[in-house]
Structure 1
Amino acid sequence: MNNSITFEDFSKVDLRVGTIIEVNDFPKAHRPAYQLTIDFGTLGIKKSSAQITSLYTKAELLNKQVVAVVNFPKKQIANFISECLLLGAVDGKDVVLLNPEQHVDNGTSVA
């Protein structure tokens, strides 16, 4: 790795746990994706687009806790505004979502 960052750089990234409360198909996305609505507790409800259709069904995602970056600027994807970025391990074209091993409160900070 040649792009080292400082702890101060890392501390600018706001990683939080949230629970997916709504999952919809996203037919206007260039690659297969879902539109997700995620509850981050006191931080509120945020939306995200995720290209995770190859490994997850809508039923599997509903009520699943996930980890996301919540302080990126909003990004328009087709006709949808994404407000956070889910974290996952990229295995080829598949994305395996990162999530807490045990249930934690929505909005819990990840350090």
Structure 2
Amino acid sequence: MKNAITYADFEKIDVRVGTIIKVNDFPEARKPAYQLHIDFGPEIGILKSSAQITKRYLKEELLGKQIVAVVNFPAKQIGKFRSQCLVLGAVGEEGNVVLLNTDFKVENGTCIA
């Protein structure tokens, strides 16, 4: 377990549901990754993220998939790509990532509490 945080710390993290609307290969990345474009609804809009999920997911499987992401981290420059949110997933053996998602379709931008 990591260091304990306060509830006030947790409240600072903005975790939302979004739908992947575009997936590109990211050959410039040091580790195999995709460039994702994710729709978080009208309040937040479309954000981009780099995700190391190529071992488990094909690009075609990701289109239209709802995921969970942190949307209020500062943007991170990865080569020529600017990652604007952090897609959340469970990291399994050998670094295989399983994306976190909802059981049922919800509105893009829905808060995770």
TM-score range normalised by the length of the shorter chain? over 0.9
One-letter amino acid of the counterpart of residue 26, structure 1: F
Change (3 A) 1:3 1:29: same
C-alpha separation between the residues in 1 aligned to 2:91 and 2:7? Answer: 24
> Does the residue aligned with 2:98 lie in a helix, a strand or coil?
strand
Q: Count how many residue pairs are aligned between Structure 1 and Structure 2.
A: 111
Q: Which runs of 5+ in 1 are unaligned?
A: none
Q: Deviations over 1:16-43 (max 9, x none)?
A: 0000000000000001000000000021
1:2 shift after superposition: 5.3
> Structure 1 residue runs of 4+, over 4 Å off?
none
TM-score, L = length of structure 2 = 0.96
Q: Which runs of 5+ in 2 are unaligned?
A: none
How do 1:32-71 and structure 2 match up within 5 A? 32-42=32-42, 43-71=44-72
TM-score, L = length of structure 1 = 0.98
Alpha-carbon RMSD across the aligned residues, in angstroms, is 0.7
Percent identity of equivalent pairs: 66
